[in-house]
């Protein structure tokens, strides 16, 4: 029989008996809640000593004295001596002080539930001590489902409540406002949340501010649409900007280019409408005029629209053209720049686009136009005469041969180093280097396909020496992992691309997963195995389960996972890197390692 209560411990005296790990955890928990903590122990961990030295708590270096529990509000008996623990428990009970004895549920008069803490929001899980293992797992599930955004959300909800209360409304109206707040900011399926903008809140409260510009004048819909032209970066999802991510998380609709699909955040709330307009195998892309019309009509519905483009929107991305069309239609818009592939992709291939004394000028050029027009726009002959420069060519796989010819005809040294980089910054990155003269043939042999960039200039010489990206033990490996992907930094630093997905999988997570081949899933525990098993189609039939515990491996086997690779229980991160690396070599020897098509 338990009644969960919420205790206000601020300023209240609490006793921890014991100086080991459990005692330290209890003392820290109490301190975090503002309690006045005394620790009694003949010997204490250095961290407890440090807390005492800093004046955070009182540490009495001695044994527990009979009767002293009576002076406190809560007592934690956490020594490794059952006698002492029981003495403290009996004292506490006699003095009607609440007591908790480590590892002895019967001697406890209270338990601390497992908690998920998000700022002022706390979710407690308890089972009357019947199934602590279940409680731990449920807490872990909740820990995943309630992302860190709930902290700011709860604080904002508190502010909203204060404003609603200040209005002196009736119960019904008040509840309706709370409903509106909740349903507009919480995705009930994924539990993703967002903090509403000040303007939105004003609107809900019926206190709209006079707004600048065309939006919000009399007779117009209450919320004017806005289009954010956002650059997604070259493909590595980490290169999406913070501002871009904020716009995506707050969007009503996202219109995505093919090149940007890999950078769509998998935790994008399911309520956000995702519209792909890029080319897919066998499908033509949506024509540009139609995309512009789509942006205009979505914005006219009052939606917040993100137009997500590869790289930077205004570098061969028609960002300028779309901004013109929006302006023409009287739609409010903004541009959120992105990391252009033109600079970043060479970097990922070990090619610095400028280098003291070697290259003092960079030309970003499209190699596409020279096929389209008779009179060429790009002065290749001029570029050919600039030895201290780097040429970065976009959309140039098909025209590489003619570009190379033109440059050589214009006087460029045919031995100038050149590179072609396919899907730069992603797990599928390939780099082909050759001389300017030989690059077209080498690229054909290696079957390089778009998206790829070519780089011409002496800086390409550095590619081999500075190849930091694909020299890492796990480069080329792409793995799905259940959110949150904490504690996996070493995998990332070893070069693995981790796609951190929520489950159940959202459309955005599917889009991100599908954008590039996947090698497998990392399963930490049985609940990961179960969650991912339900979604296995998204990972392809042969996707390998890399299991980080016996429990996960066992469950994955039971669920009929195609291939299960168990990493030793409790393995250190570097072992994990080694296991994955070995397996990769193996598969490379025995054929394609792609399990997803
Ligand atoms: N706005 C984008 C470019 C769009 S044009 C940007 O700033 O990066 C599309 C071309 O960009 C592709 O044909 C290719 O030449 C280049 N590109 C984009 N992403 C790339 C990547 N990850 N690797 C290699 N080339 C890429």
The verdict on 376 and 284 lying in the same domain is: no
> Tens digit of pLDDT for each residue in 120-158?
999 999 988 788 889 988 998 898 889 888 999 999 999
Q: Do 281 and 191 share a domain, yes or no?
A: no
Ligand 1 centre to CA of 453 (Å) is 7
Task: Check whether residue 499 and residue 585 sit in a common domain.
Answer: yes
User: Of residues 279, 413, 438, 467, which has the active-site annotation?
Assistant: 279
What atom in ligand 1 is closest to the CA of residue 423? 23
398 in the same domain as 332: no
Q: Which of 339, 371, 390 is the last residue before a domain boundary?
A: 339
* Atom 6, ligand 1: residue with shortest CA distance: 311
Q: Which residues contact 199 (CB under 8 A, 6 or more apart)?
A: 208, 209, 211
Told to judge if 279 belongs to the known catalytic residues of this protein, a careful annotator would answer yes
Domain that holds residue 408: 343-466
Ranking 105-109, 359-363, 486-490, 549-553 by mean pLDDT, the lowest is 486-490
CA of 469 to the centre of ligand 1 (A): 18
CATH of residue 519's domain is 3.40.50.10090
190 — pLDDT class (breaks 50, 70, 90): confident
Q: Are residues 262 and 283 in the same domain?
A: yes
Q: Which of 46-60, 206-220, 521-535 has the lowest mean pLDDT?
A: 206-220
Predicted pLDDT at 122 = 93
The predicted pLDDT at position 530 comes to 83
Q: 428 and 369, same structural domain?
A: yes
Whether 347 and 330 map to the same domain: the answer is no
Provide DSSP, 488-516. -HHHHHTT-EEEEE-SSPPHHHHHHHHTS
> What does the alpha-carbon distance between residue 338 and residue 340 come to, in Å, rounded to a whole number?
6
Report the residue among 240, 256, 259 best suited for mutation to probe ligand 1: largest number of ligand atoms under 8 A from its CB: 259
Q: How far is the CA of 289 from the centre of ligand 1 (A)?
A: 21
Reported as a pLDDT band with limits 50, 70 and 90, residue 207 is confident
What number is the average pLDDT over the span 459-467?
96
The predicted pLDDT at position 220 comes to 43
What is the C-alpha to C-alpha distance for residues 244 and 209, in angstroms, rounded to an integer?
26
Q: What is the pLDDT of residue 540?
A: 64
Are 331 and 352 part of one and the same domain?
Answer: no
CATH code, 68: 3.40.50.720
- Ligand 1 is surrounded, with C-beta below 6 A, by 234-235, 259, 309-312, 315-317, 340-342, 345, 394-395, 421, 423-425, 450-453
Distance CA 182, CA 193 (A): 9
Please tell me the predicted confidence (pLDDT) of residue 373: 58
- Total count of domains within the chain: 5
Catalytic pick among 91, 257, 312, 528: 257
pLDDT band at 209 (very low <50, low <70, confident <90, very high): low
pLDDT at 543 over 50: yes
Of the three residues 466, 500, 526, the one that is the final residue of a domain is: 466
Does residue 251 sit within a domain? yes
The set of residues, in sequence order, having a beta carbon less than 8 Å from that of 108 and lying 6+ positions away, is 89, 99, 100, 101
Nearest CA to ligand 1 atom 2: 311
Q: Residue 480 forms beta bridges with which residues?
A: 499, 521
Mean pLDDT computed over 244-265: 94
Strands (E), 457-553: 478-482, 497-501, 520-523, 544-547
> How wide is the angle at C-alpha 72 spanned by C-alphas 71 and 75, nearest 5°?
125
The reply to whether 493 and 451 lie within a common domain is no
CATH code of 369's domain: 3.30.950.10
98 and 172 in a single domain? The answer is: no
pLDDT at 213 over 50: no
**Mean pLDDT of the region 93-103:** 95
Cα(458) to ligand 1 centroid in Å equals 21
For the stretch 424-435, pLDDT in tens is 999 999 999 999
Same domain, 237 and 193: no
Domain assignment present for residue 120? The answer is no
Kindly give the distance from the C-alpha atom of residue 416 to the centroid of ligand 1, in angstroms, as a whole number. 23
């Amino acid at each position: 029989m338990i009644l969960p209560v919420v205790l206000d411990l601020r300023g209240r005296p609490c006793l921890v008996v014991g100086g080991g790990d459990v005692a330290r955890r209890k003392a820290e928990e109490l301190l975090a809640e503002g309690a006045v903590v005394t620790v009694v122990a003949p010997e204490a961990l250095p961290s407890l000593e440090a807390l005492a030295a800093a004046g955070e708590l009182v540490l009495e270096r001695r044994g527990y004295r009979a009767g002293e529990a009576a002076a406190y509000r809560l007592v934690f008996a956490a020594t490794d001596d059952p006698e002492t623990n029981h003495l403290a428990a009996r004292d506490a009970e006699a003095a009607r002080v609440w007591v908790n004895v480590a590892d002895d549920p019967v001697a406890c008069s209270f338990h601390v539930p497992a908690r998920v803490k998000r700022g002022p929001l706390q979710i407690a899980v308890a089972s009357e001590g019947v199934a602590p293992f279940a409680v731990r797992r449920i807490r872990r599930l909740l820990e995943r489902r309630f992302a860190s955004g709930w902290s700011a959300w709860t604080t904002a909800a508190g502010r909203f409540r204060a404003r609603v209360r200040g209005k002196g409304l009736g119960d019904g109206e008040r509840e309706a406002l709370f409903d509106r707040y909740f349903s507009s900011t919480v995705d009930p399926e994924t539990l993703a949340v967002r903090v509403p903008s000040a303007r939105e809140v004003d609107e809900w409260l019926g206190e709209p501010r006079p707004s600048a510009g065309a939006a919000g004048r009399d007779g117009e819909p209450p919320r004017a649409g806005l289009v954010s032209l956002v650059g997604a970066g070259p493909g590595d999802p980490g290169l999406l900007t913070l501002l871009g991510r904020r716009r995506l998380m707050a969007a009503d609709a996202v219109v995505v280019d093919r090149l940007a699909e890999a950078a769509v955040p998998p935790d994008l709330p399911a309520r956000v409408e995702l519209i792909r307009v890029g080319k897919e195998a066998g499908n033509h892309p949506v024509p540009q005029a139609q995309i512009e019309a789509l942006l205009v009509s979505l914005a006219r519905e009052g939606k917040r629209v993100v137009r997500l483009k590869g790289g930077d929107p205004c570098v061969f991305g028609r960002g300028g053209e779309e901004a013109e069309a929006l302006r023409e239609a009287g739609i409010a818009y903004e541009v959120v720049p992105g990391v252009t592939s033109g600079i970043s992709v060479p970097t990922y291939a070990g090619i610095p686009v400028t280098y003291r004394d070697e290259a003092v000028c960079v030309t970003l050029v499209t190699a596409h136009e020279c096929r389209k027009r008779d009179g060429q726009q790009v002065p290749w002959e001029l570029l050919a005469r600039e030895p201290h420069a780097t040429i970065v060519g976009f959309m140039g796989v098909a025209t590489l041969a003619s570009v190379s010819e033109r440059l050589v005809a214009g006087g460029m040294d045919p031995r100038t180093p050149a590179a072609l980089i396919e899907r730069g910054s992603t797990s599928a990155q390939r780099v082909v280097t050759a001389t300017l003269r030989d690059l077209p043939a080498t690229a054909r042999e290696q079957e390089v396909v778009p998206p790829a960039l070519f780089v011409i200039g002496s800086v390409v010489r550095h590619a081999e020496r500075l190849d930091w990206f694909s020299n890492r033990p796990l480069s080329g490996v792409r793995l799905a992992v259940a959110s949150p992907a904490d504690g996996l930094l070493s995998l990332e630093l070893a070069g693995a691309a981790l796609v951190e997905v929520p489950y159940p999988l959202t459309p955005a997570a599917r889009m991100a997963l599908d954008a590039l081949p996947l090698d497998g899933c990392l399963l930490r525990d049985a609940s990961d195995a179960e969650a991912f098993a339900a979604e296995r189609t998204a990972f392809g039939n042969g996707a390998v389960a890399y299991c980080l515990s016996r429990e996960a491996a066992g469950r994955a086997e039971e669920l009929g996972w195609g291939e299960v690779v168990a990493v030793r229980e409790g393995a250190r991160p570097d072992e994990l890197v080694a296991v994955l690396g070995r397996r990769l070599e193996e598969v490379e020897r025995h054929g394609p390692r792609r399990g997803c098509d």
